[in-house]
Structure 1
Amino acid sequence: MASRDPEKNNYYPTQQTTRTTTGYQIDDNRQWTSWLVPIIVVANVAVFIALMFINNCPKNNLGFGNCLPKFLGRLSFQPLRQNPLLGPSPNTLIKMGALQWDRVVYQHQGWRLITCIWLHAGLIHLFANMLSLVLIGIRLEQQFGFVRIGVLYLVSGIGGSVLSSLFLRETVSVGASGALFGLLGAMLSELLTNWTIYSNKVAALLTLVVMIVINLAVGILPHVDNFAHLGGFITGFLLGFVLLLRPRFGWRERHQLPEHLRVKSKFLPYQLVLFVIALAVLIAGYTVGMIMLFKGKDGNDHCKWCHYLSCVPSSRWKC
């Protein structure tokens, strides 16, 4: 059972949304109220409670030890020998919609690409993911609204599921961290595509890149689905160029000037170029990935070294 290790860092690069120039100030500090991210958190917690209720450890425990803690009754966790993350059994996760390659391909259960995003392997897994979602998602939703962040979250999560299915055929995978890495990837592309409106650009970029590298590096440990992380990150990175564009510096104010002084284009040329390229690559990647998945192709046949992206063997563990 491979759980998707969550984004653990709470850093968000500082954005200077109120910019000053010679003689006047431009206010781009428009914010939405964040309600989608809290709803997602509540939904994940509710699903986990339902998962534990259906798991019913006292009735279905198969001799791995005592359910923990006993006073929780049917909500108690599986023995630590079976699930050290304080959660249900693998069978219950599969029953509730965990990602499993053969069921997606041969039993036509493509819906597992979505349902696995809402399941977690244990209480520890759930807490870490939801904490990360609050720290990252609320800020993004306040800046870009629930529609764009909702699309980012869901599409990135599916992208992580697709890449995971193509390369990890023997595991049961659950977790929202593919979607969370999508938000992280979108943060990076948002910084790049809106480069001109940021102060301390290099510091923000370096900090964000270091954070991304550290979190992806954690994925090379065993029992962590790093392909879900990578798939979500790549999807979110591309979507950021499409969904998170900001108008060029001073566009709103200059648009109110006399017509001969107005800035005609709302976005800079490089933003539009990145938009087109990212959208084309995203559509092509999604199409190829889905075709390969539902034709039963093994991604490892086309990339002999890619398995090291999810687990690097060492003297302390085996993959």
Structure 2
Amino acid sequence: MSDGARDVQVHSSPAVAANAEGEEIEVLESTDVLPVAPEDQWKSLFDKYDPESSGFISTERFRDLLAAHGSELDPHKLEVLLALADGNADGKICYQDFVNLMSNKRSNSFRRAILQGGRQLKGTSLKEEVGLGLSQRLVRHIAYETLPREIDRKWYFDSYTCCPPPWLILAITIAEVAVFIYYGFQLDRWVLQVSHPLFLKGPLPYHPQLRAQAWRYLTYVFMHAGIEHLGLNMAMQLLVGVPLEMVHGAVRIGLVYVCGVLAGSLAVSVADMTAPVVGSSGGVYALVSAHLANVVMNWSGMKCQFKLFRMAMALVCMSVEFGRAVWLRFYPPAFPPCPNPSFVAHLGGVAVGLTLGVVVLHNYEQRLQEQSLFWIFFCVYTLFVLCAVFWNVFAYGLLDVKLPPTP
């Protein structure tokens, strides 16, 4: 059969026509596990096993196809494809499903085969694999640290290429360190910078007198009260945020982080109306609390070593940092009547992490658009933001709040 005839046959298949009418198989994750293999190769292969042009091939023919062409596939990919064949209840695999799978696109049919079919991978577990290099062992460790199921760990381990690298958390951390060093030289102070009279005069920190400058609700994240404040936040941000970004991607982690940062400053403007805000604790606490909540929710499946010890250490770090913030808030201010920065941003970050963050990070496979809980929490969060905005516009005047002078 010529290439032209083959193309005509492919484009006239019922599955392609159905797909054109809107019956789409939603793609959950895309990876680069396979060697270079154009999608046309899989289309041609499907036609070979579907001579009737029905748009479907039986699971028996699918097994024959895997037996003939399995050498072209990664061993773990071959395992999950065989699991799909074994767990397919209707005995048929449609054209679009086939192309999605062979082109490294994880589809709903794969998820149904694994979850509803109760199938487990038959090969050696990821933890038992030997001969791994340092980078591979690191990726495996992160998989066990953040993912509760072996099928997800194997898929992540096989597909992770460090491209793109976890740039978001690293970039935020570098920016925070750079700003701290800049103010350290400018103020000639490294410990408790917040006690310097010029600390709040910059364009970044949130101050209640300057709440009309909307960017301050986010940019306060780059300012820190002192080197101990920066050190604790930076340690938690890197140790938790980078592995989470390697697994869930910059978009999801960025969403949780930014929502935590914004919720932190808005929570201060509502609950601690006279206090300024500095530090990345809102975003950091959102990530850490979401991760810890997922570990608790999937306790039996999380097989990382010393997980109880690590959870305890994370809680200790959070408690120490929060205790420092509470102490600083009620410590006599260096320049009254302006109070020291508020600790309420920490609580706003925790609230985001335990609600929106848990949903965003809970399911490695699903897109956010498929999760009803995500939309519920997102709507609640949006409502909170709108209420906080109205509060900032009207409540200060109605309550006749006496604000500290402009820095």
Task: Compute the TM-score of the two structures, normalised by the length of structure 1.
Answer: 0.61
SS at match of 2:202: helix
- Alignment match, 1:153: 257
Distance in 2 (alpha carbons) for counterparts of 1:113 and 1:146: 21
2:344 is the counterpart of 1:227? yes
- Alignment match, 2:189: 77
- Alignment match, 1:133: 237
SS at match of 2:189: coil
2:142 is the counterpart of 1:37? no
C-alpha contact 1:87 1:121 (8 A) present in aligned 2: yes
> Given the alignment, which residue of 103, 108, 111 partners 2:215?
111
User: Displacement, 1:291?
Assistant: 1.9
- Alignment match, 1:275: 374
Q: How does 1:297-312 map to 2 (within 5 A)?
A: 297=396
User: Displacement, 1:180?
Assistant: 0.6
Residues 1:17 and 1:184: Cα distance change in structure 2 (over 3 Å): closer
Query: Partner amino acid for 2:258?
Result: L
Distance in 1 (alpha carbons) for counterparts of 2:357 and 2:149: 22
2:200 is the counterpart of 1:96? no
2:316 is the counterpart of 1:214? no
User: Displacement, 1:136?
Assistant: 1.4
Distance in 2 (alpha carbons) for counterparts of 1:272 and 1:207: 30
Residues 1:213 and 1:122: Cα distance change in structure 2 (over 3 Å): closer
Residues 1:172 and 1:132: Cα distance change in structure 2 (over 3 Å): same
User: Displacement, 1:141?
Assistant: 0.8
Following superposition, which runs of at least 4 residues in structure 1 exceed 4 angstroms of deviation?
Answer: 18-21, 192-197, 202-213, 215-219
Distance in 2 (alpha carbons) for counterparts of 1:194 and 1:236: 16
SS at match of 2:243: helix
1:27-68 CA deviation, whole Å, 9 max, x = no partner? 444545322222111111222233345x4x4xxxxxxxxxxx
- Alignment match, 2:27: none
Q: Percent identity?
A: 26
User: Displacement, 1:146?
Assistant: 1.3
Gaps of 5+ in 1: 1-11, 58-75, 79-83, 249-265, 302-319
C-alpha contact 1:47 1:119 (8 A) present in aligned 2: yes
Which protein is richer in helix relative to its size? 2
* Larger RCO of the pair (alpha carbons < 8 Å, separation 6+): 1
Distance in 2 (alpha carbons) for counterparts of 1:241 and 1:136: 14
The RMSD of aligned alpha carbons is 3.9
C-alpha contact 1:18 1:26 (8 A) present in aligned 2: no
C-alpha contact 2:248 2:361 (8 A) present in aligned 1: yes
Residues 1:142 and 1:115: Cα distance change in structure 2 (over 3 Å): same
Q: How does 1:155-304 map to 2 (within 5 A)?
A: 155-191=259-295, 197-199=301-303, 207=312, 211=316, 214=319, 216=322, 219-223=325-329, 225-246=342-363, 272=371, 274-297=373-396
Query: Partner amino acid for 2:246?
Result: Q
- Alignment match, 1:254: none
Distance in 2 (alpha carbons) for counterparts of 1:153 and 1:172: 20
- Alignment match, 2:92: none
Distance in 2 (alpha carbons) for counterparts of 1:185 and 1:18: 17
**Number of residue equivalences:** 238
Distance in 1 (alpha carbons) for counterparts of 2:264 and 2:227: 21
Gaps of 5+ in 2: 1-141, 330-340, 401-407
Distance in 2 (alpha carbons) for counterparts of 1:243 and 1:122: 32
- Alignment match, 2:145: 15
1:124-157 CA deviation, whole Å, 9 max, x = no partner? 3222222221111111111111121122212211
Rg bigger for which structure?
2
Distance in 2 (alpha carbons) for counterparts of 1:18 and 1:185: 17
Query: Partner amino acid for 1:95?
Result: G
Distance in 1 (alpha carbons) for counterparts of 2:270 and 2:207: 11
Residues 1:174 and 1:13: Cα distance change in structure 2 (over 3 Å): farther
Residues 1:168 and 1:185: Cα distance change in structure 2 (over 3 Å): same
Distance in 2 (alpha carbons) for counterparts of 1:229 and 1:217: 11
C-alpha contact 2:285 2:349 (8 A) present in aligned 1: yes
Distance in 1 (alpha carbons) for counterparts of 2:296 and 2:371: 13
Residues 1:196 and 1:279: Cα distance change in structure 2 (over 3 Å): farther
Between 168-177 and 207-216, the greater mean CA deviation after superposition: 207-216
Distance in 2 (alpha carbons) for counterparts of 1:204 and 1:182: 20
1:76-123 CA deviation, whole Å, 9 max, x = no partner? 217xxxxx425672433332321111221xxx2122111111111223
